[in-house]
């Protein structure tokens, strides 16, 4: 019964969304306050109805209601509760429902916290947001309805893909969707402003928190996914340049660019049309991501709905929103004249360079992802584009970005002197160079990758700290002034440092990884990169919904036991799928990563060991980036702009 209520609520939400798409837009055009005012309660209602529908679906998963087709296909009664819940979005239909739930959530938040927006802009933004919701409600109801019943319910379900039964992956999609869909809000703001025909500093300030939130969630989602791949896929890769990963990475790059260009709009009233274009494109790439995952157009490990009909539907949604927004942009972009004047050497220019690099690197990822398709369609060549291409074509942009970051962020607005900006950084440069030199001298190979990563990390982290220190001026009271700096400044410092640290982790892992594959005999120690491992025992056991083979390995260094590792491989009988559960000894300097393989005919077990230097810093850096975003988000200026009602206190001036 609850399922039917959920289905009904979803249809109601669809109807409310249609109303909210049309009425406020007409109202804003005709300046009818009553029509515009409909947007707010409609946005709330839409969200509550969708939330109810989602709750109903989750209830069906929790209670293992196998009369529901979706539950039968993706769940099993023996599955742990966490994965019954996460199974709600671990499939195509459920994840689309989560997607649209987040669209309506953002719409409702814009309605609740948008009290400060001009009424016409608010009505238009909410109408555009609702139009996006309408498209996806229609998609769900007409092509991927999660509430379909089975005529004859089976006794038990077919289980969720065991690779997805993991805490890291349980929360990866919700964060990723919060990010993807968060960009729908900036899209709505951009289109709203285009219809309005005006972009000013206030618009820049309104749009920044939404972009920032989307970017933070994307960062968390991508980091969770990559961390999951690292420990779950059994050989410790953290990034595969898979089409679906790229699909989440491209919006991240553009959101990062948008974040920076919106600052220029807000502070200097320049780069307006570029910022609008970026906002449109960033959401466009979110839609492309959805399309790639669900159409089966490109082969990917993640693609879970290879249905051409759905693909065509999403393609139509994409064509409508991108086409519409870009046509609107073409007509209105001319009306947005920049006001701020600045010289070629200035923070504005540095941010333009940041945008160039991020946008072009996004373009490189895009071309690389789509090239197999293009080559097959136009040149009749069936080929593939893999990690070696991306590492080579993409990394240089990040290198340059890292190099100019501390310089640009130290520059003042309007007019800067190159030498003036560089002077405080000279010690930072010496420090970074020394660290890189040390890394070069200590490593065994002649690779430059590791030292370059160390250089960039030191350069960026120390550079941003110096930048922050510079803001406190001179003389006494610097510490107090440092503490009083706006949160946004702290956020900038933390997020930029995070980027540097992630670069260090990535290059350290790629340059200095050590791999060992061998047959291990019980009780016979073997050495890998300075560590001694001993296989003590291998035990077969049974988990809630899987069978497991666990190896017991002692990890020691110089006679001192560091850890007891228990690498495991599992078989999920229902899904008929094996998984590896690597045992990892985490350490800030390096991870020791052990995987147990098959029993060998001649006795002993296959064991793979990796020494992975600096790996944890990849995720520490990502966490810092997200933290920096949250710090900025909590800045008082944003809260004021986002609509926390101002008290009517008389300003003390």
Partner 1 sequence: MKRIAFILMLLASPLWALDPKEMLEDAALEARARAIDHELRCVVCQSESVASSNANWAEDARRTVRELITDGSTDAEIMDFFVARYGEFVLMSPRVSGSNWLLWAAGPLMLLLAAGVGVGYLRGRAGTPAPQEAALSEAEEARLREILKE
Our separate counts of H helices and E strands in the chain read: 22, 10
The nearest distance, CB 378 to partner 1, in angstroms, is 8
- Of the two residues 63 and 299, which places its CB atom closer to partner 1 in the complex? 299
Residue that the structure tokens 């009517």 belong to: 648
| Integer Cα distance of 18 and 544 in angstroms | 45
Query: In terms of Cα–Cα distance, which of 104, 128, 125 is closest to 43?
Result: 104
Distances (CA, A) of 423 to 411, 427, 433, 475, 630: 11, 9, 16, 19, 31
The nearest distance, CB 435 to partner 1, in angstroms, is 29
Q: Please, what is the end-to-end C-alpha distance for the chain in angstroms?
A: 62
Q: Find out whether 435 and 454 touch, Cβ atoms under 8 Å.
A: yes
Tokens of 87: 């199974």
| Integer Cα distance of 192 and 540 in angstroms | 61
* Cα–chain center distance at 620: 15
User: What is the H or E stretch that residue 540 is in?
Assistant: strand 531-542
- Of the two residues 65 and 159, which places its CB atom closer to partner 1 in the complex? 159
The nearest distance, CB 32 to partner 1, in angstroms, is 21
The nearest distance, CB 296 to partner 1, in angstroms, is 10
- Of the two residues 149 and 636, which places its CB atom closer to partner 1 in the complex? 636
* Cα–chain center distance at 132: 20
User: What is the H or E stretch that residue 479 is in?
Assistant: helix 478-484
- Of the two residues 9 and 357, which places its CB atom closer to partner 1 in the complex? 357
Q: Say how many C-beta atoms besides its own lie within 10 A of residue 568's C-beta.
A: 19
For residue 391, what are the contacts with CB-CB under 8 A and spacing of at least 6?
A: 241, 510
Longest dimension (CA), the chain: 86
- Of the two residues 57 and 125, which places its CB atom closer to partner 1 in the complex? 125
Q: Find out whether 210 and 129 touch, Cβ atoms under 8 Å.
A: no
- Of the two residues 20 and 211, which places its CB atom closer to partner 1 in the complex? 211
- DSSP-based three-state secondary structure for 146: coil
- Of the two residues 136 and 593, which places its CB atom closer to partner 1 in the complex? 593
The nearest distance, CB 304 to partner 1, in angstroms, is 11
- DSSP-based three-state secondary structure for 200: coil
Q: Find out whether 346 and 415 touch, Cβ atoms under 8 Å.
A: yes
- Of the two residues 136 and 638, which places its CB atom closer to partner 1 in the complex? 638
The nearest distance, CB 509 to partner 1, in angstroms, is 15
- Of the two residues 137 and 249, which places its CB atom closer to partner 1 in the complex? 249
- Of the two residues 475 and 651, which places its CB atom closer to partner 1 in the complex? 651
The nearest distance, CB 573 to partner 1, in angstroms, is 5
Query: In terms of Cα–Cα distance, which of 607, 609, 606, 608 is closest to 590?
Result: 609
Q: Find out whether 346 and 413 touch, Cβ atoms under 8 Å.
A: yes
The nearest distance, CB 450 to partner 1, in angstroms, is 18
Q: Find out whether 144 and 93 touch, Cβ atoms under 8 Å.
A: yes
- Of the two residues 65 and 232, which places its CB atom closer to partner 1 in the complex? 232
The nearest distance, CB 27 to partner 1, in angstroms, is 20
Identify the DSSP state of 148.
P
Q: Find out whether 468 and 485 touch, Cβ atoms under 8 Å.
A: yes
- Of the two residues 22 and 547, which places its CB atom closer to partner 1 in the complex? 547
The nearest distance, CB 396 to partner 1, in angstroms, is 8
The nearest distance, CB 51 to partner 1, in angstroms, is 31
* Helices 39-62, 2-30: crossing angle, 10 deg rounding: 160
The nearest distance, CB 480 to partner 1, in angstroms, is 18
């Amino acid at each position: 019964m609850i399922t039917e209520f959920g289905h009904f609520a979803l249809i109601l939400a669809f109807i409310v969304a249609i109303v909210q798409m049309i009425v406020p837009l007409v109202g804003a055009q005709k300046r009818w306050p009553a029509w515009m005012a409909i947007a707010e309660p409609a946005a709330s209602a839409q969200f509550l109805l969708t939330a109810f529908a989602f709750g109903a679906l989750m209830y069906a998963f929790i209670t293992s209601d196998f009369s529901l087709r979706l539950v039968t296909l993706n769940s099993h009664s023996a599955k742990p509760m966490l994965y019954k819940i996460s199974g709600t979005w671990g499939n195509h239909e459920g994840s689309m429902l989560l997607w649209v739930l987040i669209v309506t959530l953002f719409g409702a938040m814009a309605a609740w916290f948008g009290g400060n927006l001009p009424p016409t802009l608010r009505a238009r933004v909410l109408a555009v947001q609702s139009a996006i919701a309408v498209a996806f409600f229609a998609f769900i109801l007409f092509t991927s309805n999660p509430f379909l019943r089975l005529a004859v319910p089976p006794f038990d379900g077919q289980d969720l893909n065991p690779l997805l039964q993991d805490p890291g992956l349980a929360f990866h999609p919700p964060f990723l969707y919060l990010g993807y869909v968060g960009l729908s809000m900036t899209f709505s703001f951009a289109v709203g402003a285009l219809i309005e025909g005006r972009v000013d500093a206030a618009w820049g300030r309104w749009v920044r928190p939404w972009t920032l939130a989307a970017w933070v969630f994307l960062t968390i989602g991508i980091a969770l996914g990559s961390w999951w791949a690292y420990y779950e896929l059994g050989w410790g890769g953290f990034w595969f340049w898979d089409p679906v990963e790229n699909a989440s990475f491209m919006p991240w790059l553009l959101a990062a660019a948008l974040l920076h260009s919106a600052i220029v709009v807000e502070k200097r009233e320049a780069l307006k049309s570029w910022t609008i274009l970026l906002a449109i494109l960033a959401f466009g790439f979110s839609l492309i991501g959805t399309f790639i995952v669900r159409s089966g157009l490109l082969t990917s490990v993640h693609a879970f709905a290879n249905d051409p009909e759905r693909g065509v539907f999403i393609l139509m949604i994409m064509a409508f929103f991108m086409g519409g927004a870009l046509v609107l942009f073409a007509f209105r972009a001319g009306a947005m004249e920049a006001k701020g004047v600045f010289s070629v050497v200035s923070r504005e220019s540095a941010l333009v360079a940041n945008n160039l690099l991020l946008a072009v690197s996004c373009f490189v990822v895009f071309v690389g992802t789509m090239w197999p398709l293009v080559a097959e369609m136009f040149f009749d060549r069936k080929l593939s584009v893999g990690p070696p291409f991306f590492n080579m074509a993409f990394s240089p942009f990040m290198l340059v970005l890292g190099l100019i970051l501390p310089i640009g962020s130290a520059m003042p607005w309007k007019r800067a002197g190159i030498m003036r900006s560089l002077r405080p950084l000279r010690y930072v440069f010496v420090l970074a160079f020394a660290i890189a030199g040390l890394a070069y001298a200590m490593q065994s190979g002649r690779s430059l990758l590791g030292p370059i990563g160390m250089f960039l990390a030191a350069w960026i982290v120390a550079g941003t700290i110096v930048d922050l220190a510079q803001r406190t001026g001179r003389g006494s009271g610097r510490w107090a002034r440092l503490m009083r700096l706006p949160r946004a400044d702290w956020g900038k410092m933390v997020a930029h440092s995070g980027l540097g640290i992630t670069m260090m982790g990535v290059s350290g892992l790629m340059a200095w990884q050590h791999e060992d594959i061998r047959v291990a005999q019980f009780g016979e120690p073997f050495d890998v990169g300075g560590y001694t491992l001993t296989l003590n025992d291998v035990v077969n056991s049974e988990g809630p919904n899987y069978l497991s083979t666990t190896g017991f390995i002692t990890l020691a260094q110089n006679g001192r036991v560091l850890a007891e590792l228990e690498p495991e491989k599992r078989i999920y009988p229902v899904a008929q799928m094996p998984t590896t559960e690597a045992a990892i000894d985490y350490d800030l300097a390096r991870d020791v990563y052990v995987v147990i393989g098959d029993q060998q005919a001649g006795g002993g077990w296959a064991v793979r060991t990796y020494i992975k230097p600096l790996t944890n810093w990849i995720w520490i850096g990502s966490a810092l980036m997200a933290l920096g975003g949250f710090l900025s988000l909590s800045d008082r200026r944003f809260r004021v702009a986002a609509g926390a009602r101002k008290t009517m206190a008389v300003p003390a001036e």
